[in-house]
Amino acid sequence: MALTVVYTAGTGHVVGALALTGAGAPADVAALVGRALPMRVCVDQGRVATLPLNAGNLAVAVVDDEPAALVDPLAFGVELNPEGRPGPTLTRLATWTGGAGVALTPNGLTITVQVAPARPAKVVALVSADQDTHVLAGELPAQQTRVTLPVSLDAGGKHGVLVLAAGWAGLLEEANVT
């Protein structure tokens, strides 16, 4: 059985997966997710923050069956071949362990990974803010374990955060502004 995945074009993160019987999934990502794919996380005692991934930044691929991608899609990535087409096998991405993660301050989102990448790694992050979403982009420099992306937030607030750093599993969690 083949698996259909929706992934971010910039970082390769799988953000949704579905197994179909019969007809295949549409090749047009907007036909699957609409204008945006909502990623949701509970914040502040049950309030839900929605972080929409714009359909224009997403793509669809049919890949080899990987049942774990149905349970935890953010743990997987799609690798593109030299022609820019997705390969048939999903890659399990590195996990956030050993103090790795995110920290929010009134002036920025700091992303820390446990192992420094050999090459610069693209980073996309979404931070909820009342009715809006801050979309941040940057790079984790080669041989560095930390990057801070600028964002303006009120001190003491709680926000939903989605971090997609190339090579690491997607991180979707609540974060407090300290």
* 48, part of any domain: no
How many separate domains does the chain show?
Answer: 2
User: Is residue 74 domain-resident?
Assistant: yes
In 65-107, beta strands by DSSP E: 76-80, 86-92, 101-105
Q: What is the pLDDT of residues 108-152, one digit of tens each?
A: 999 999 999 999 999 999 999 888 899 999 999 999 999 999 999
Residue 44 lies in a domain: no
* 20-29, 34-43, 105-114, 164-173: segment of lowest average pLDDT: 20-29
Considering only 42-46, 71-75, 85-89, which range has the smallest mean pLDDT? 42-46
